[in-house]
């Protein structure tokens, strides 16, 4: 059987850096900084909508319903899997993540999940063209945090 097309160490490092940068933007609730990481017509799945087309719609329907209401978002980079197509133009990243949610009384709860991200290489830059982020089973879907949006 042919093995999975695992990324080279340098390719893996490039995607780990992307994940860490994106996670920092989520923690900062900085939509403006995160937008350039994604293709403008990105297709996404999320908690609040089944299929979301485009970054602008994703910000309104998903990011704005999650990022300000949660805290501490991070990818578990030790557990990340990166697959790169033989021609080097497409890649898939499978990554578990952690964050904190807030109950109505303000107490925190663990809010772990997982992500599948599909990338397309455009002029030496990886753009995410598909994202599916979901909470682990049994994790409350609603969080009541109220952090300010840094930049829309």
Annotated domain spans of the chain: 9-135
Q: Which residue has the higher pLDDT, 45 or 32?
A: 32
Eight-state DSSP code of residue 30: B
Structural tokens at position 29: 């609730």
Whole-number pLDDT of residue 61: 85
**Average pLDDT for 22-34:** 97
- Residues 47-78 pLDDT 10s: 656 788 999 998 888 899 899 999 999 999 99
* 84-138 tens-digit pLDDT: 999 999 999 999 999 999 999 999 999 999 999 999 998 889 999 999 999 999 9
pLDDT at 20 over 70: yes
User: For position 54, what pLDDT does the model report?
Assistant: 92
Q: What is the mean pLDDT of residues 28-49?
A: 89
CB of 105 closer than 8 Å to CB of 85: no
Question: Which of the residue ranges 2-6, 43-47, 54-58, 146-150 would you say has the lowest mean pLDDT?
Answer: 43-47
DSSP tag of 105: T
CA dist 83 → 7, 38, 70, 131 (Å):
5, 18, 29, 15
Greatest extent of the chain over all pairs of C-alpha atoms, in Å: 53
Q: Both tokens of residue 70?
A: 């949660």
Does residue 129 contact residue 42 with C-beta atoms inside 8 Å?
yes
Domain 9-135 architecture: Roll (3.10)
Among 10, 22, 1, 2, CA closest to 82? 10
């Amino acid at each position: 059987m042919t093995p999975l097309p695992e990324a080279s160490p340098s390719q893996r490092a490039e995607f780990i850096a992307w994940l860490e940068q994106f996670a920092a933007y989520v923690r900062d609730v900085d939509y403006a900084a995160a937008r350039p990481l994604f293709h403008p017509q990105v297709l996404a799945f999320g908690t609040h909508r089944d299929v979301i087309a485009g970054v602008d719609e994703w910000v309104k329907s998903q990011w704005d319903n999650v990022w300000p209401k949660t805290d501490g978002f991070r990818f578990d980079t030790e557990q990340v899997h990166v697959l790169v197509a033989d021609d080097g133009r497409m890649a898939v990243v499978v990554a578990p993540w952690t964050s904190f949610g807030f109950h109505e009384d303000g107490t925190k709860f663990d809010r772990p999940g997982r992500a599948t991200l599909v990338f397309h290489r455009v002029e030496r830059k990886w753009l995410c063209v598909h994202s599916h982020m979901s909470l682990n089973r049994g994790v409350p879907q609603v969080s009541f945090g109220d952090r300010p949006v840094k930049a829309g």
